[in-house]
Chains A and B, each alone.
Chain A
Amino acid sequence: MPKRLLPVVLLLTTLAGVAHADARSDAKAQVEFGISVAQRGLWKEALYRWERATQVDPTYAAGFNNLAVGYEHEGMLDKAAEAYERALKLEPNNALVRQNFELFKEIHDRTNQTPTP
């Protein structure tokens, strides 16, 4: 790599890092606000905040986990499954997300039992 390109690459890498940190910071703020309103029973507002968080930072597993919990509470089970899967894809070893997903699946499987003729 030519020597004069090195500072440009370094600058771009730094800027990308800063942008990511900003996105994560914004997403965290949305997630925290979502948690505080969910604790007061305002689930629709919480869902809005967590949806925003996952749009701002699509790599933030906590955002997807909370979004999944919100969807579950609102009865949107298919969307909840998608959000849990997304969270687990981002953090496959996160025991809290995995535990939430397992509890969710117990309910989801029960509702999907097919009728017997």
Chain B
Amino acid sequence: MTGRIRLRLLSCVLAAGVAGCASFYEIPIETPIAAKLDVSAFQRVFIAGFLSGGTDDVDGNLETVRLLRSQLRMKSNLRVIDADVLPLMDVAANSRPQGQAAGPTAEARETPQPEQIKNEKDLQPYEHIFADADYWKRIGEEYQNPLIVTGTVLFTPHSQSGMVQREREVIDALGRRRVEPVREYMERKGFILQEKFIFIDGRSGAQIYSEALREERLYNQNDNTPALSSYFELMDEIIPRFLSTLSTQRVRGSRVLIK
């Protein structure tokens, strides 16, 4: 439970208590959230690799694969396959969209190199790889028909300016401290993380589910937050939603029971 929610709950409980309208008890609960995807047919999961782009400071493919594998090892019943990360950009650049001849196509040859990928549009020429059932079936056979997870990762710098409300501590003439909201114009910079997770059946090579998630975070201009630490902050928000696709998650919180 976030501090904001806890504060709201506490203030509510206090208000009701002061009013003396009811007897109540705060109780911790754990709400089980059923997995969005039925993965009972799979014993293994292979986090294969991602098409990635955005800032050069973070290797979105490697970092995402590493993080998802470690999270799944801890929080899922599926066995996580530990294999080399697929260089999906190269694979996509050298393969053909279905129905075309083998080898790099004119379209593939014209696509920008990985370091030039700055937005979703730049990723599109590579995304045909996700529809290549033969390719994923081959990967599936190699790793004993697991559930394959792939997709796109776009981690881009972002800046924004405007009015921001923050709290400032002030001490009055009597020496009492209090906090008051202050609105001020600020220039902030940060990052946007856009991830699209694609789940592929390793037995057939067919896509079974996909989910796009987006998070952004802005910092004060002077903070100099490293890109990698911002990436992990944003992944902290995304990972619970990713995990809830594959396995039942328990969300902790508290509620009030009333007499």
Taking beta carbons and an 8 Å cutoff, which residues of A are in contact with B? 28, 31-32, 34-35, 38-39, 61-62, 65-66, 69, 72-75, 77, 94-97, 99-100, 103-104, 106-107, 110-111, 113, 115-117
**Are A32 and B259 in contact, CB atoms less than 8 angstroms apart?**
yes
Q: Chain B residues near A34: list those with CB within 8 A.
A: 257
> How far is B211's CA from A45's CA once the two chains are assembled, in angstroms?
38
Residues A99 and B34 in contact, CB atoms below 8 Å apart = no
Q: CB of B22 within 8 A of chain A?
A: yes
Point out the residues of chain B lying under 8 angstroms from A32, CB to CB.
259
Quick one: which of B210, B251, B259 contacts A107, CB cutoff 8 A? B251
Instruction: Verify B29–A65 contact, CB threshold 8 A.
Output: no
Q: Does B209 contact A (CB under 8 A)?
A: yes
Cβ–Cβ contact A72 & B258, under 8 A: no
Closest to A73 in B: B29
- Are B259 and A62 neighbours in the complex by a CB distance under 8 Å? yes
Cβ-defined contact, A99 with B33, below 8 A: no
Asked whether, in the complex, the Cβ of B259 is within 8 Å of the Cβ of A35, the reply is yes
Number of A-B contacts (CB under 8 A): 82
Contacting pair B209 A72 (CB below 8 A): no
Closest chain B CB from A74 CB (angstroms): 8
Question: Which one of A61, A62, A74, A99 lies within 8 Å of B8 (CB-CB)?
Answer: A99
Which bucket holds chain B's interface residue count? Answer: 20 to 34
Given A69-B27, A116-B211, A96 and B16 contact (CB-CB distance below 8 Å): yes
Per a CB cutoff under 8 Å, which of B9, B27, B251, B259 touches A99?
B9
Query: Given the interface contacts A39-B27, A95-B15, A111-B244, does A31 sit within 8 Å of B34 by beta carbon?
Result: no
What are 23 sample pairs from A and B whose C-beta atoms fall under 8 A apart? A31-B258, A31-B259, A32-B259, A34-B257, A38-B257, A61-B258, A62-B22, A62-B258, A66-B258, A73-B29, A73-B30, A75-B33, A96-B24, A97-B258, A99-B8, A99-B9, A103-B255, A104-B255, A107-B31, A107-B33, A115-B36, A116-B196, A117-B210
Complex Cα gap A59–B34 (Å): 32
The binding surface of chain B is classed by DSSP as strand
B27: A residues at CB distance < 8 A: 38-39, 69
Mark B residues whose CB is within 8 Å of A.
5, 8-9, 12-13, 15-16, 22, 24-25, 27, 29-34, 36, 196, 209-212, 241, 244, 251, 253, 255-259
Task: Please give the distance in Å from A77's CB to the nearest CB on chain B.
Answer: 8
Q: How many angstroms between the C-alpha atoms of A110 and B27 in the bound complex? A: 22
Across-interface contacts of A38 in B (CB, < 8 A): 27, 257
Residue in chain A with minimal CB distance to B245: A115
Nearest A residue to B1 via CB reads A103
Q: Looking at the assembled complex, report how far the CB atom of A75 sits from the nearest CB atom of chain B, in whole angstroms.
A: 4
Q: In whole angstroms, how far apart are the Cα atoms of A75 and B209 in the complex? A: 23
Q: In the complex where A39-B27, A96-B16, A117-B210 touch, is A111 in contact with B258 (Cβ < 8 A)?
A: no
- Interface centre among B24, B196, B212, B257, by most chain A C-beta atoms within 10 angstroms, is B257
Q: Given the complex of chains A and B, what is the CA–CA distance between A113 and B211 in angstroms? A: 10
